Structure 1
Amino acid sequence: MSTSLISPAERGYIREGISTGIRNDGRSRQDFRDYIVNLDVISHSNGSARCRVGYGTDVLVGVKAETMLLDPTQPPNQGKVVCHVECSPSVVRRWDQRTADDLNNNLTQFLTRCLNQYGGIDLGKLCIIPGKACWVLYVDALVLDFDGNLHDALLLAVRGALFNTRIPELNVQEVDEGEFDFEANSDPEAAQPVPGWEKVPLCVTLNRCGEHYFVDATATEEQCTEAKLSVVINHLGEICAVQKGALGAIPHQMYADMIQSASHLVTQLLSALDERLQKEASTNLANQNGKHVSTFIRKNFH
């Protein structure tokens, strides 16, 4: 998504750097910028996280768990995940309103596809009373700043927020023959993590520039690419979703190479992120003295 115009000379400089394997910020084609993930950053939510990519792209995600009476059109034994992504006014002002609306819709649809059908969350365990009531997880994301690679940053923040989310324990009781009711346990220690959060996938977006492709494009680099491919992969290495962006084509062999590279990179990215998240969970830093937990990843994946 373009944020400003660049001159032909700058475009040529960026493309030449990508071709030679040294980008204008010193990274190689397979290098990511540093990622910082902060947990528990929104009060009055069941879980939250903020992901900052380098000094630019910044995404905030909050998760709210609410009970809901099942609609007759819904599966009787499953809960629900509702996603919404919106760009903040400071980001939207860079584009016209139609472009901003299209971006919001695109990101919302992308996140919905990633979390509902193949997202790993065990929707069956979100059912409270079969055919009657279930949990609904509202996953709301706000783009605070933009410097390229939104899809990757979005799923990093979402995975951190779902890791941080705790769902209150419910006591289900039979009040009459065939009739059930439930009551929430007010003890926060009894709250449970989101079932299947560890299976939530991550995304790597690869960008084609001439005969080469590269990862983690800045906003300026995105203006110099012919096509991009966002590949969503889970902890088992299974491809959950693939989305192509921009107007250019991707040759068949390059497409296959992109998929293979994405699988390799996501595996390492998942390992690096989860290692830090699990370490923080084991020491219970997320709940001590109301302090935020910051997970800093500075690592080049090859």
Structure 2
Amino acid sequence: MASALISTAEQAYIRQGVVEGIRGDGRGRADYRDYLLSVNVISHSSGSARCRVGFGTDVLVGVKAEVAMIEPGEAPNRGRVQCHVECSPSAARQFQARLTDELNNDLTQFLTRALNDFGGIDLDKLAIIPNQACWVLYIDAMILDFDGNVHDTLLIATRAALANTRIPKVEVQALEDGQQEYDVIDDPEAATPVPGWEDAPLCVTLNWTGDGYVADATHQEELCTDAKLMVCVNRHGDICSMQKSTLGTIPQATFLEMLENATKIAAQIIPTVDQRLKEEHERTAQQVSGGHKSTFMTNTFL
């Protein structure tokens, strides 16, 4: 487990607080911590964002749109999304070295599952020339600091980065031999948003302690968790994917209740995040093309 230690008395205090709906920081069971969201934080990227929840978990995400060849066996008319997540040394110090590697792999797989197939992004519109070329969105995330609920924070930052991403315009021309060629237009004004980014999901993680569950758990609360349920929900209220971690079991009735509550919580989080992104877009619409200015936005989820 994590290198952080928690005493038996602390565990009992946290678990009893979950039962009574009283948490150490004064939040209710379904309450999220305040968050700080910033965009345009990486200059040489197609889009970027950073999200910090409370005074702990801090995630930086950069998106790079690049043209790649479509290899044999790959979908001939679709683009791709490739993800990589890594913990910084400051975040990794809370874990043993072996478990840090496992966490990196787990988060990379989690983000890949969340954004591909049912992840909202219209991969068909990322195709350029069938069987030849397509756009690939390389999403790289760095966990800068850690105090629980990293999956939710990761998807907030990723969705904000996708909203901030612009893909260059491509012109396709037919050649005399029946082939096609493309030309990438280096004009920021002609660049377009990622198709379908609005339908990219956010994650709501609920932590089951055996007698109750909480959202947005701190690291100390996660150390008392028997089972963790991550539910990815889009703006339409559809569950795009889910994942259960740790070895504990969740009663069936409680499991169904957790799914229902996760969709309700997501229905409150998504409009809040999107409103902040809309405000940022309106503020930067008049900026000089090519300028990269980081804007910090603070808000409370619930």
Alpha-carbon RMSD? 1.4
Are 1:112 and 2:104 an aligned pair? Answer: no
CA contact (8 A) 2:41 2:293 kept: no
Amino acid at match of 1:80: R
CA contact (8 A) 1:226 1:246 kept: yes
Aligned to 1:145: 145
Shift of 1:290: 3.5
Aligned to 1:180: 180
Q: Deviations over 1:233-289 (max 9, x none)?
A: 111111111111122110011101100000001011001111111122133369466
Q: Secondary structure of the residue that 1:71 maps to in structure 2?
A: coil
Q: Secondary structure of the residue that 2:214 maps to in structure 1?
A: strand
Aligned to 2:45: 45
CA contact (8 A) 1:32 1:216 kept: yes
Q: How many residues align?
A: 300
Are 1:103 and 2:103 an aligned pair? Answer: yes
CA contact (8 A) 2:90 2:145 kept: yes
CA contact (8 A) 2:128 2:135 kept: yes
Aligned to 2:157: 157
CA contact (8 A) 1:173 1:182 kept: yes
CA contact (8 A) 1:2 1:222 kept: no
Q: Secondary structure of the residue that 1:28 maps to in structure 2?
A: coil
Distance 1:108 1:225 in 2: 22
Distance 1:297 1:113 in 2: 28
Q: 1:295 aligns with which of 294, 297, 302?
A: 297
CA contact (8 A) 2:205 2:230 kept: yes
Amino acid at match of 1:132: Q
Distance 2:241 2:217 in 1: 20
Percent sequence identity over matched residues? 54
Are 1:27 and 2:27 an aligned pair? Answer: yes
CA contact (8 A) 2:205 2:216 kept: yes
Aligned to 2:279: 279
Aligned to 1:243: 243
Shift of 1:291: 2.3
CA contact (8 A) 1:209 1:227 kept: yes
CA contact (8 A) 1:39 1:286 kept: no
**Structure 1 spans left out of the alignment, 5+ residues:** none
Aligned to 1:190: 190
Give TM-score, length-normalised by structure 1.
0.96
Deviates more, 1:173-182 or 1:38-47: 173-182
CA contact (8 A) 2:43 2:292 kept: no
Aligned to 1:11: 11
Q: Secondary structure of the residue that 1:68 maps to in structure 2?
A: strand
Aligned to 2:130: 130
Question: What are the residue-to-residue correspondences of 1:225-244 with 2, within 5 Å?
Answer: 225-244=225-244
CA contact (8 A) 2:49 2:61 kept: yes
Q: Secondary structure of the residue that 1:235 maps to in structure 2?
A: coil
Deviates more, 1:165-174 or 1:283-292: 283-292
CA contact (8 A) 1:62 1:139 kept: yes
Q: Deviations over 1:20-57 (max 9, x none)?
A: 11101111111100111100100110000001010000
Distance 2:121 2:84 in 1: 17
Give TM-score, length-normalised by structure 2.
0.96
Deviates more, 1:191-200 or 1:17-26: 17-26
Q: Secondary structure of the residue that 1:142 maps to in structure 2?
A: strand
Q: Secondary structure of the residue that 2:175 maps to in structure 1?
A: strand
- Specify whether residues 285 and 73 from structure 1 end up closer, same or farther in structure 2 by C-alpha distance, changes over 3 A only: same
